[in-house]
A and B are shown apart, each in its own frame.
Chain A
Amino acid sequence: MFEFIAQSPLLAALFALVSLGAAFGALLGYAAVRFKTEGNPIVDQINDILPQTQCGQCGHPGCRPYAEAIANEDEAINKCPPGGEAGIQALADLLDVEAIPLDAEHGEEDVTSVAYIREAECIGCTKCIQACPVDAILGAAKQMHTVIVSECTGCDLCVEPCPVDCIDMIPEAQTLQNWSWHLPDPVSREVDIIATDPASNNSRNEDQAA
């Protein structure tokens, strides 16, 4: 059999390529089953970093859709105001990209706060309950509502729908647990390290002009 194939060049070529293709196809088929990945692990890692406020300020319906967009569609990592600079830094480290400043279009990072409903003014319309992404507001129709402080993520979404404007965002009191040293702002961090930097060149040109 083998001699017969080896003697006829056309058959030999066919045999060689078909067997090569079949062997490699089998190998890849086995590898596809053996090394199958469940879901996308990178999405889980990104999702763990995001603050889970589900606030939608990034333009996606929640934290997980945003994580999927970052992983699969090259969405920018600077669209999460609740995560702030620290969140962007963590994402940049994970994805091995440059950390970029927060995109102001999607809101500004502010101190963490919790919603507070002035209960005397609440008319029990339930609109804030429907708006709350984390079900942190307790109450029923025509009944006074209140906020579960430990559940509230401070996402602001309940403030807008309230018809009587009885919801305040109260900044979280600074305690020893959440106090942090503020980083200097990015502008004052810029230092001329390289002599040929455009910034220092400009100043040199100005010196010559003077």
Chain B
Amino acid sequence: MLADYSILLIGAILVNNFVLVQFLGLCPFMGVSNKLETAMGMSMATTFVLTLASACSNLTYNYLLQPLGLGYLKTISFILVIAVVVQFTEMVVRKSSPLLHRVLGVYLPLITTNCAVLGVALLNINKEHNFMQSLFYGFGAAVGFSLVLVLFAAMRERLAVADVPIPFKGAAIGMVTAGLMSLAFMGFAGLV
């Protein structure tokens, strides 16, 4: 039981990392990784939203769409669920921590369009996860996303001051680095 969940977690974090192996959620990965602090903020917000959205979409599918035989409506329903979860999170964060709300700024609403969130919700259905498995899978995906985002942001802070040939400066060297990181994560294949 416990082993199942830990395998699910490690699988989602390392082996099938959503950013570097499945190439989902690349826009925030490239967009928010310029500074370590914003990367941390984005990671926290995404972790919260992904876990919650994964669980909520599972409930929606199992208790509303499945009994009515409406499997074909899952994409549009999940988009609705994700949008509501993000909106709700934004309201709570704005009330409870104005500072975090400012730090996250535009990135919080942007999670709505993070394809990793929708990807996790749809993969949960494909893999026929139950509620707890969905929760863990969503959390694992979010931790994997955060890990990679923070690692990448740390590297980009070093790259900003490194002696890079002019044609490679900026986004170009970022892309090359992301590719190398992706290769490194391929090394986890076959771990579970």
Q: Which residues of A contact B (CB under 8 A)?
A: 5-6, 9, 12-13, 15-17, 19-21, 24, 27-28, 31-32, 35-37, 40-42, 45, 71, 94-96, 194, 196-197, 201
Contact = CB atoms under 8 A, between A and B. Distances in A.
B84 A28 contact: yes
Interface bin, chain B: 20 to 34
A31 B103 CA distance: 22
Contact of B87 (A12, A28, A194, A197): A28
A92 B84 CA distance: 33
B25 to A, nearest CB: 23
Interface string B65-86: 1011110010011001100100
B94 A12 contact: no
A201 B68 contact: no
From A12, A20, A95, residue with most partner B Cβ within 10 Å = A20
A153 B81 CA distance: 54
**B-side binding surface: helix, strand, loop or mixed?**
helix
Contact of B84 (A27, A36, A42, A94): A27
Interface of B: 37, 60, 64-65, 67-70, 73, 76-77, 80-81, 84, 87-88, 91-92, 94-95, 98-99, 102-103, 161-163
A59 B98 CA distance: 26
10 smallest beta-carbon distances between A and B, as pairs: A196-B163, A35-B95, A24-B84, A12-B68, A41-B98, A35-B91, A31-B91, A42-B98, A96-B103, A16-B70
Contacts of A17: 73, 76-77, 80
B73 A13 contact: yes
A12 to B, nearest CB: 4
From A36, A45, A96, A194, residue with most partner B Cβ within 10 Å = A96
Contact of A20 (B80, B87, B88, B98): B80
Nearest to B94: A37
A16 B80 contact: no
